[in-house]
Amino acid sequence: MTSLTQSLNLQFAAVSVRNFYILCKPRVTGLIVFTAVIGMLLAMTPETSWVTLLAATVGIGLASGAAAAFNCMVEQQIDARMQRTRHRPTARGDVTTPATLLFAMLTGVTGLAVLHTWVNDLTMWLTLATFVGYAVVYTIFLKPATPQNIVIGGASGAMPPVLGWAAVTGTVTPEALVLFLIIFLWTPPHFWALALYRRDDYAKVDMPMLPVTHGEKVTLVHIVGYTVMLALAAFMPVTMGMAGWVYLAAAVVLNGLFLGYAIRLYQHYTDALSREMFRYSIVYLAATFAALLVDRALA
């Protein structure tokens, strides 16, 4: 009987850990941490401590996970009604609101403490501002209020490489702001591609996403416009001397494909193509930042 009880307790603990792990949106958090680490590696010098790199990675990752959990807590009623998000533990009722809030607070405070103790205060404050920008300003105020929510709120999502750069240098330089600009301009076409083929989901919960409030054609025009601006911004690392021919070649291919998706989507829209563009956009961002790192390593 004791053995059975212990087995059940272990299973319950494993389920609980998995639920909190899901609340951290691991795929999104993983991309955030990845771009932050690239920012660190691009800014590092021979004097940079690996302790700083590790602590910054952990601290930013914990803060990101905390913001994601807070987002799940605030939107649990909406998530429960949407097909894309109804599997989340908060939406299913597997994790209570108090437990989610406590988890988000402990995780976030731990992340900030790590940054304060082993990195620097600038990174800590910027990370806190990013948390507030996403978890509070975007989630609570912007998202339900305006179809431009993802544009304005995208500033928080574009911060990770700036955080990584600040962790290593203790400053925010023009190079860090270029990395910010790339993600900032990438966010609208990335998210609107998702919102297009999920527009019925958003309409069902009265969420004012652009495809719901202004329709398909207006959204597609916006996607093309932002993709063009993104392509221009993507070449700024070359013009500023941050990157060379390796990154340039990658940028030509990656942005050519992204523009191709945007134009095809505008000319012949289908949900399948919109889903395909959304998936490619994730590959695009990861590959763009990876190309910057490879270029730096080969320089």
Class at the top of the CATH hierarchy for domain 173-299: mainly alpha
- In single-letter form, the type of residue at position 129 comes to A
* All structural domains of the chain with their residue ranges: 10-171, 173-299
pLDDT at 85: 93
SS3 173: coil
**Contact in structure between 207 and 78 (CB atoms under 8 Å):** yes
- In single-letter form, the type of residue at position 257 comes to L
Joined together, the tokens standing for residue 22 give: 């899901």
Question: Diameter of the chain by CA atoms?
Answer: 70
- In single-letter form, the type of residue at position 114 comes to V
Taking the C-alpha atoms of residue 137 and residue 117, their distance in angstroms, rounded to an integer, is 27
Joined together, the tokens standing for residue 210 give: 């652009």
Taking the C-alpha atoms of residue 167 and residue 121, their distance in angstroms, rounded to an integer, is 9
**Predicted structure pTM score:** 0.94
**Cα angle value 287/175/258 (rounded, 5°):** 30
For the chain, helix, strand, coil in percent to 5 are: 85, 0, 15
Burial class (CB in 10 A: 0-12, 13-18, 19+), 136: middle
pLDDT tens across 260-294, in order? 999 999 999 999 999 999 999 999 999 999 999 99
Q: Which of 176, 159, 174, 175 is nearest to 125 (CA)?
A: 159
pLDDT at 152: 87
26-43 and 271-298 helices, crossing angle to 10°: 30
Joined together, the tokens standing for residue 87 give: 């599997």
Span 89-103, mean pLDDT? 94
Span 38-60, mean pLDDT? 97
pLDDT at 132: 96
Taking the C-alpha atoms of residue 193 and residue 207, their distance in angstroms, rounded to an integer, is 16
Joined together, the tokens standing for residue 190 give: 């990335």
CATH homologous superfamily for 10-171? UbiA prenyltransferase (1.10.357.140)
Confidence of residue 299 (pLDDT cuts 50, 70, 90): confident
Is the pLDDT at 134 greater than 70, yes or no?
A: yes
Displacement of CA 242 from its chain's centroid (Å):
23
Span 83-90, mean pLDDT? 93
